[in-house]
Amino acid sequence: MNKIDYQNKSVGELAASRPMSIHVYKQLGIDFCCGGGRPLMVALEEKGVLIEEFDRKLQSIEAERGTIGQIDFREMSSGQLSSYIEDTHHAFLRDQLPRESELLQMVLNAHGRAHRELFEVYRLFGQLKTDLEQHLLKEENLLFPALQDAPGEEDTRQLAIEIVEEHEAAGEILATLHRITGDFAIPEDACETYRIAYDLLNAIEQDINQHIHLENNILLKETIDDV
């Protein structure tokens, strides 16, 4: 593996070129999707992590998990990557968002008196679900075709900016959900449905993070950089 020029890398650039770095980012609590444009060195400094420590972690996880067979999303055309995002991440969200909404309603009905934060969790997730449902449609009907038909046009750049802003809004809702649930902590009196709901909420967040990473740091990077 070639030596990495960490000094001149953004968080997102490293995530795109060395996907295993995403696992290290998660360990350290570094935002690699909406915060992908930040310099890596700045992000590490804010977490009090030396570059040598980060490098050791990355080298260790690459040695442990290997890199053979990894998909290099940077090698995909915009059409191929758009199709991958739609078939993988859009399909997952369309399947799981309604399921999570039903689970949270059940949990709220059963535990709302003892855990009043569930009312806010339910409200915020409802907002996130509604926002994401229109967001997926906007990508499929406007963004992805525009990237194919008019990649250098001003309308396409403005649309890409809107999409990134919507990513940031979703990230803010997820951050608030983390705060009011204590990072999806499951209380001692939680039933099995409560546990399933929070596990699925965590899985949805992980999927959204990867979805945003692929778009912000790879699919839309050149378009946004031209703005």
CA-to-CA distance for 130 and 155, rounded, in angstroms? 25
pLDDT at position 215 = 96
In 3-state terms, what secondary structure has residue 72?
coil
pLDDT tens-digit series, residues 68-99: 667 889 999 999 999 999 999 999 999 999 99
Residue that has been written with the tokens 């009905």 in this structure: 109
pLDDT at position 2 = 54
- Average model confidence (pLDDT) for the chain? 92
- Which helix (H) or strand (E) segment holds residue 9: the answer is none
For the chain, list the domains and their CATH numbers.
6-65 (no CATH), 76-225 (1.20.120)
Q: Assign residue 66 a region: left if phi > 0, alpha if psi is -120 to 50, beta otherwise?
A: left
Would the CA dihedral through 62, 66, 67, 71 be positive or negative? negative
Angle at 15 between CA 10 and CA 19, to 5 degrees: 160
pLDDT tens-digit series, residues 165-221: 999 999 999 999 999 999 999 999 999 999 999 999 999 999 999 999 999 999 998
